[in-house]
Amino acid sequence: MKLQTTATLALLLFLLLAPPSLSVSMAVGSEFCDSNCARRCSKASRHDDCLKYCGICCADCNCVPSGTAGHKDECPCYRDMTTGTGNRTRPKCP
């Protein structure tokens, strides 16, 4: 019992003192997409939603239009992504 408690305590101590490079990130993104989406969404009223959808679109298309709005012709894949099919189809990428 004492050995188990010591091992558990040692593991917790290691996790608390581990370098940040060992931490697991909730959002997986590339530096390219993260920086370009931060620029793209900098003036968005729904900043978190903009970053989420921009990140999804950037990961699929590997491009983000310049500026904070418009310019979607620079990246046709980004421009043409939609939320679905039928009457409620809307652009997916901000």
pLDDT at position 47 is 94
Question: In sequence order, what are the residues at sequence separation of 6 or more whose Cβ sits closer than 8 angstroms to the Cβ of residue 73?
Answer: 65, 79
- pLDDT at residue 28 above 50? no
Distance CA 77, CA 79 (A): 5
Question: In sequence order, what are the residues at sequence separation of 6 or more whose Cβ sits closer than 8 angstroms to the Cβ of residue 5?
Answer: none
- pLDDT at residue 7 above 60? yes
For residue 58, give both structure tokens: 């950037």
For the chain, domain boundaries: 29-94
pTM: 0.65
